[in-house]
Each structure stands twice: as C-alpha cells, then as structure tokens.
Amino acid sequence: MLTLGLRLAVLATVLQAAFLNRSIALDDITGKCRESLGRVHQYLNDFDTLEEQKICYFESFATGPNNLFLSRDQDRWVYKGYECLLSAGETVYSKSEHPMHYCYTHDDDKDKDVPAFSVCIPSPCADDNLKLLKEWRRMTRPEASQEITFTACTRSRHEKQWFELPVPIADFGFNILLIMFIFMATIFHHQRGNNAKSWPAKLLLAFSAKTNLRKLIDLPKDPQACITCMFGLRFLSMVWTLIGHSFIFLSRYFFAYLGNVEEFKEAMVNNFFNQWITNFTLSVDVFLVLGGTVLSYSWFRKWLKNTTEEEPTWTSFGYWLRFYRHRVVRLYPAYIYALVAVTLRISITHFHPMWPPTDPAVQCPKYWYENVLFINSLSNNRCMPWTWYIGTEFIYYVLSPIFLLSLRQKPKFGFILCIAVILLSAGLNVESIIRNNFPPTQFLWKQPEIFNPNFIQHHIELYIKPQFRIGPYIIGILLGYQLARYQRVPVKTERSAKTLSLCWVGGIACIFAGLYGLYPSLQGWNWPIYHIVYGAIHRDVFAVGIAWVIYACHTGAGGFINTFLSSNWFLPLSNLSFSAYLFHMIPVVLTYMLVPFPIYFNWQLPLFVHCFVQLLITYVMAIICTMVAEYPSLNIERLLLAHPRGNTATMLKPVPTSESEIQLKPNSSPNI
C-alpha cells in the first residue's frame, strides 16, 4: 500500500507530465520551445540522468499563497528553484545540454488574494514563460482569473561566466593592480623608511602594508584613550553575527539549501539554549552600544580636557561638517569597495544565478544609491541587505550632536532627553507590534500562528528602521559620557564588594533576560502582554547589561572578564571587524554552494565547521579590504589635514565651573 508521501509524489509526476503534454499543444509558443518541451521526458528518462535530477524536476513545480511568497514560504520557493537548477545537471566545469529556467509569478500586492506559481521549463522556453505559467495555473487553480502582471526567471547557468564578461574582468584587474600598488608601496617604504618629503612619496606610503599592518596590531600611545575590553566584544559580536547569518541563511532568503528544513527549525526553536543563535540579532545591538560609547567617550574626553580650542556649539557649522566628513571618510572607502566588488564580480562568480529578489547582482545595479547615501534602512533595503546596520548607525551619528551638546551644556537636561528618546523608541515599538501583530523581534526560524507570519514586512517596517533601534546607541552615548567623567576624577571612590556583586548580578540578569527571554514568543505561548513588553524593551535591557560589562572592565571591576576581552590577540581581529562585516555574507553563501544540494540537518557540528571556514575566509577578505581601501584612506585624510603642532605650554585654559568638568593635573597631557 502506497504511503501518503509516495502517493503525492506519484500525483505530482502525473500532473507535471500532463502539463508538458498540454504545453506542447499550445498554439502560441515558439517552435523551439515546443521542441524543447518534447525532449524533457526523454532527457529525464535517459540513462545518464540521475534519479535525483528527475525527482527534483517534478518537485520544483509549485502553487502557494501570494501574500507569503516573500516571507514565511520564501525558503520553500527558493528550495524549489534550486531543485529546478539541479535537474539541469549543470556543473562548475561543464554546461548542460538541457539547461533549465525556474520561472515564477506572484503579485507585489501582498494583500491580494491570488495564488503564486512556479514552473521549471527548458531554457529555450524562457521567452514563453508567461504562457506556460498561465497553463500551469489553468491546471492547478482553474478558478484563478486575475491577470498575471509579473513574472521572473532564473537560469540554471549564467549565459556567460564572469571571466567572459568585460566588467567583472575589469574589476578583477583593478584589484590586481591595487595589490601590486600596495606591494610597490611596501618595498618603497622598506627601502626609504618614513622620511618621505614629497607629496607623491607620502601618498605612496599611505598604501604601505608595513605601515597598515602595524596599525592593526599597535595599541594607542595613550592607553587611557582606548577602552580595551571592546577588542574582544567587537570581535565576538562579529563571530556571533556570522554564526547567526550562517544558520539562518541555510534555510531562508536566497539560500534555502536544507532538505529537512522543518526538522532543522524545530530543533533550533525548541531548545531553550539555542536562543543565542535564534536571537542572534542582538549582536547588532552590541555594535550599536560600542558605536555610541566610542563616539561619546572620545568626544567628551577631548572637551573635558583643558585645551584652548574653542568648543563646538549648536551653530559651529564648520566643526560639525568636519565631524561628519571624518565619518564619511571612515566608512566610504571600504563600503564602496565592498559594494563594487560584490555587485560587479563576486555575486556572479558562481556558475548559476542566486535568488533574484535578494541577489546583489540583480538588486544593487538598481538600488546602489540607497547604500551610498546611507538611506537603505529607510527604504526596502534591497542591495546587500545585511548592510542596513551601516545606514542606521550613520543616521544615529548624524543625530548624535543633539545628545552630545545637551549632555555637555546641561547634563541633567541631556540625561532626561536621552531617557525620553529611549522611552519614545520603546513606545513606537509597542505601537508597531500591536498594529501589525508583529512578534517581539524578527522571527526568521518559525512563525507561531499567533503572530503576523510576514517576516519581510517586519524586517522592512520595524526591524531596520532607525526610530525603533536607537535605544542601545543612546545607552552607549550615556556610557561614554560617564566613562569620560570617571576618568577625569583624580581620586576614585572605593566600591564595596557587595555593590560590585549586585551590579554584576544585575548586568548578567539584563543580558540573560534580553537574550533568553524570547523563548515564550518562539513557542507561541498566548502571553500578549509579555510579547509586547519584551518586544519594546529587550534590546535596551540587553544593551544595559553590555554597558555594565564595558563600564566594569574599564573602571577596574572586570577581573578575568576584562583580562580576556582586553587580550591583545583580539586587537587586530577587532580592527578588521568593519571590513569583515561588509564581506561576511559572501563566505556564508560560498561554503554552502560548494557542498552537494540539498543539505540534510542531523546535528549542529557540521554547521559550526562551515562557520569556522566562513570566518577564516571572511577575515582574509577583510584584510584585503582594509589594506587597499580602509586604512589608506584614513592615512591620506591624516596627511591632508596635518598641521604643525603648537606649543603645548600655551594650550591650557582656565578650569570651567561646569559640574561635568574636572581640572587637569599640571603634568597631564593637554590634548589627544
């Protein structure tokens, strides 16, 4: 007696066979397409055709709800797309004699009650995909009469490989020239040393690997200018981000590669301690806390010193333009380098295309300007979607003078303003969660029925939007302000062991609650008030815990945690984190594409092996990006802005009476 699964497989095979026969009989398709459709059965039953290719072909046809095409069900549509591509029998080194196109249709209006469809057709039928999709609809949903307004196809092999195209070759050649230029600059530096006098020589030295590799491993000359525990926090957050993306992109977005995806999701969601992976998006909030802290600490540390430099005010337009210029110079070179490399060459390196809605080769040529203008998080975030964080943090940086000046001029008002904005952001989260029935955070694994299953809507409307994520950044600003003030206190107040113990318990509790408090929502427990409260404050609570760890470590209460996080081994890895973040999704996709399709999940260890390899490749790419773009641009900026140092003896000013400033000791250094 046939099992239900086998019955469905037989029924699907019969249905697809009928589709091929009916399609051949269509009058309005081209003769070449009709001939190709007639050869499909012969190809699938050929002695050289693997059984899995035949199965994949018939399983790639699908019908499903339109409103979930780009959200809850996207992983299965993508999976069927890969099944269609696999049925063609393409390999890296050889073309298939029977190439395929995976074509689908859905309506952009997610609220329309219309079905979505997909078919796997021979490539000569690509121009007839609309007619064949209509035929598949007539067979499976004869009641559907709406006009098909959108179709898209992805082919089993690029029409031309990247090394046959002029633009990728030009980009590859440009990168080779950059590396050769760095090699020449390094040789010049080795032979001539640092005593270059001409501008061309100084510019050449800006690209020297000898200089820039030293920058990766050297501590600042002033140890008080650096919060050393951030070395470990930044690198570990980068690792956490990569692991989370690696696990989720195995079953979501453009890389649904798992055959037993439901088993994988259940295993991840139902294990309480797996929440460090299922709730990995909190790693972004660590970056936000670090970003706000570094900015605030360096800014207040400078203006709490007794320099004669005029302090900025609300109308110091020249100062704030320089303030923003430095940030752009810090971000742009590596960001643009990554954007160009991913769009023009890396994303088309594999022999077949990716999933079109999230393929950088498809989306970035249309939407690159959103990334360049740092507004991708304000739009639909279609080009290099993992870089939404860079746009969001840049917006926070643009707004940061409001908080910096408020805290500087009127500390009490500034503190109240910061808390008010954090509470307002939490309130906006509450409003959006209630109005859209969103879960507390973006659910990429399993969507319990009590929540809105459209995680793409959640991603675009709430998850990446700056107004919903600013809390951790402001917590970082407040932390940096407090650390700068603490450093200026000549005599530190002794803290009792009891006080420190309570603070550590509170900090760890905040981290644990923010990270593991998601479990009731993942399980779909009907606790509506809990879900709303957790969604509103869990990122801020988690950020407070991280802020305490930083504060404790920098003020001498970190113990072995500070010893570990401040290890010099983390310093170069931390300095590479920005470039690593830009490129980390490329190795995540690459390593999975090099293994046979599909992957079957049994336990987590093989996935962690993938993560380790992905991490190694990521940091190799980060080193290249840092050496050719990030550090040279900073060196050139410093060179262009260099000016003779004044006499430091004349740079002292009277001690301000503001409560936020402490007089420097006579032997203190006057400026950074």
Q: For residue range 224-257, what is the model confidence (pLDDT) as tens digits?
A: 678 999 999 999 999 999 999 999 887 665 457 7
Highest mean pLDDT among 83-97, 252-266, 304-318, 502-516: 502-516
DSSP assignment of 253-280: TT---BTTHHHHHHHHHH-GGGHHHHTT
CB atoms within 10 A of CB 619: 22
Enumerate long-range contacts of 262-266, CB under 8 Å, 24 or more apart: 263/601, 264/601, 265/445, 265/446, 266/446
- Direct distance between the N- and C-terminal alpha carbons of the chain, in angstroms, rounded to an integer: 81
Q: Taking a C-beta distance cutoff of 8 angstroms, is the pair 538, 440 a contact? A: yes
Buried b (16+ CB within 10 A) or exposed e, 407-443: bbeeeeebeebbeebbeebbebbeebbeeeebbbbbb
Cβ-based burial of 514 (10 A; exposed 0-12, middle 13-18, buried ≥19): buried
Within-domain flag for 465: yes
Within-domain flag for 670: no
Within-domain flag for 649: no
662 vs 485: CA distance, rounded Å: 8
36 vs 435: CA distance, rounded Å: 50
Task: Quote the DSSP letter at residue 445.
Answer: S
Within-domain flag for 329: yes
Q: What angle do CA 61, 67, 72 make, to 5 degrees?
A: 75
571 forms beta bridges with none
142 vs 140: CA distance, rounded Å: 6
Query: Of the given ranges (6-10, 91-95, 667-671), which has the lowest mean pLDDT?
Result: 667-671
Q: Helix (H, G, I), strand (E, B), or coil: what is residue 447?
A: coil
Question: Of 139, 157, 175, at which residue does a domain stop?
Answer: 157
Estimate to the nearest angstrom the gap between the alpha carbon of 447 and the chain centroid.
21
Segment 598-622 mean pLDDT: 91
Residues 52, 114 share a domain: yes
pLDDT at 459 over 80: yes
Residues 199, 74 share a domain: no
Within-domain flag for 659: no
Question: Of 109, 133, 157, at which residue does a domain stop?
Answer: 157
Instruction: Report CA torsion sign: 609, 613, 616, 622.
Output: negative
Residues 417, 292 share a domain: yes
257 vs 591: CA distance, rounded Å: 12
Backbone angles phi, psi at 323, to 5 degrees: -55, -45
Within-domain flag for 277: yes
pLDDT at 200 over 90: no
Domain count of the fold of the chain: 3
pLDDT at 666 over 80: no
233 vs 547: CA distance, rounded Å: 11
Q: Helix (H, G, I), strand (E, B), or coil: what is residue 456?
A: helix
Residues 413, 487 share a domain: yes
Residues 605, 556 share a domain: yes
CB atoms within 10 A of CB 472: 28
Residues 408, 372 share a domain: yes
Residues 295, 349 share a domain: yes
Question: Of 157, 177, 210, at which residue does a domain stop?
Answer: 157
pLDDT at 136 over 50: yes
Query: CA of 374: how far to CAs of 246, 285, 383, in Å?
Result: 25, 18, 12
Is the pTM higher than 0.85? The answer reads yes
Quote the pLDDT of residue 250. 75
- Extended beta strands in 77-156, E state: 100-105, 115-122, 152-155
Residues 125, 201 share a domain: no
Within-domain flag for 651: no
Residues 380, 283 share a domain: yes
Quote the pLDDT of residue 41. 84
Domain range for 182: 162-218
Residues 559, 438 share a domain: yes
Residues 185, 115 share a domain: no
Tokens (6 digits) for 523: 């399980």
119 vs 136: CA distance, rounded Å: 8
Quote the pLDDT of residue 652. 36
Within-domain flag for 265: yes
Cβ-based burial of 181 (10 A; exposed 0-12, middle 13-18, buried ≥19): middle
Sequence-distant (6+) residues with CB within 8 A of 82 are: 256, 257, 597, 598
Edge-to-edge order in the sheet of strand 115-122: 62-65, 115-122, 100-105, 152-155
pLDDT at 670 over 70: no
Residues 580, 506 share a domain: yes
